[in-house]
């Protein structure tokens, strides 16, 4: 598991998103392989799908541990559809 420490505070938000997705996927690929994390303007959006309410809550808790007090938008659906990736949102 990723521990909340000085390393995370030094990570770029997009690196932290990649870290979160990789951690969840390695923890249980069948539950988290269709989940995505997007970072845009300081907010973190959890998107895609997971197979249970428990998996959804676990993903949110891990995101809170990695991103601390950043705004976290929980847009995860509890279904069997979705896509896993990390998207960049660059402000122009």
The CATH number of whichever domain residue 36 belongs to comes to 3.30.70.1770
Model pLDDT, residue 88: 54
Residue 1 resides in a domain = no
Q: Which residue has the tokens 């007090």?
A: 69
Model pLDDT, residue 5: 41
Distance (Å, whole) CA 11 – CA 47: 21
Model pLDDT, residue 87: 52
When pLDDT is averaged across residues 45-72 and rounded to a whole number, the result is 93
Residue 91 resides in a domain = no
Looking at the 3D structure of the chain, how many domains does it have?
A: 1
Range of the domain at 24: 6-81
Residue 21 resides in a domain = yes
Model pLDDT, residue 74: 95
Distance (Å, whole) CA 45 – CA 75: 7
Instruction: Give the strand pairing for 86-88 and 43-50.
Output: unpaired
Residue 45 resides in a domain = yes
Residue 87 resides in a domain = no
């Amino acid at each position: 598991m990723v521990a909340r420490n000085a390393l995370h505070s030094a990570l770029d938000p997009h690196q932290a998103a990649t870290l979160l997705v990789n951690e969840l996927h390695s923890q249980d690929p069948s539950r988290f392989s269709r989940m995505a994390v997007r970072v845009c303007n300081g907010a973190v959006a959890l998107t895609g799908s997971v197979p249970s309410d428990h998996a959804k809550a676990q993903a949110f808790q891990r995101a809170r541990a990695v991103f601390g007090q950043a705004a976290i938008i929980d847009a995860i659906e509890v279904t069997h559809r979705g896509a896993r990736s990390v998207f960049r949102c660059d402000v122009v």
